Structure 1
């Protein structure tokens, strides 16, 4: 098996995340924030703000960015690039199959 193999990690039901909100999930030794956008799409980023460890999953979102609830720093939801001069955050591939959420991680971390 290739080290670059992607493994889907089941997270739960899409219905566990109300539209326009995020939830944090512990996955492979990391905490990942998964967001259900109002257009029906989903995004996943690191759940910890690099500034002071703020809970990114509790931040405000729109279709393009997440804003940390502690100090209002912002990141692009698709790229993880900072929009406010802070370090970038990681982004992850997440998908919905039926009503189930799956996070794609390289190497099968879980």
Structure 2
């Protein structure tokens, strides 16, 4: 059974935007699409560790602000690149709040 933690109000993350959220288990980049879907990923681009939370959100992707790598918010995979993937974490919206699965955050903190 999953244990979900409330990390932010949905309105704290702008549509087609992102925020870097600090949790007890580390920082996570949280993205919100224009359809109010939320996604949580590691903040570092697999290319040169660019801050993805500072990137441009379009559809279900984010473009890294450093070298324009496009990362899927759903899978964490770099689009059109030979290699590279960012860890993703289960996220959902409930009662206007963004929730993350704490078990995945704990696994990340240990890794």
TM-score by length of 2: 0.83
CA distance in 2, matches of 1:26, 1:102: 13
- Show CA shifts across 1:29-81 (max 9, x none): 43211111101211111111122221101111112211101110111111111
Aligned residues: CA RMSD: 2.0
Gaps spanning 5+ residues in structure 1: where? Answer: none
Residue 103 of structure 2 is matched in structure 1 by 106
Structure 2: state its 5+ residue gaps: none
Equivalent pair of 1:21/1:37 in contact (CA under 8 Å): yes
* Greater relative CO, 1 or 2 (CA 8 Å, sep 6+): 1
Please state which structure has a larger fraction of its residues in helix: 2
Task: Return the TM-score normalized by structure 1.
Answer: 0.84
How many residue pairs match? The answer is 106
Does 2:50 match 1:54?
A: yes
Alignment of 1:84-99 (within 5 A): 84-85=80-81, 86-99=83-96
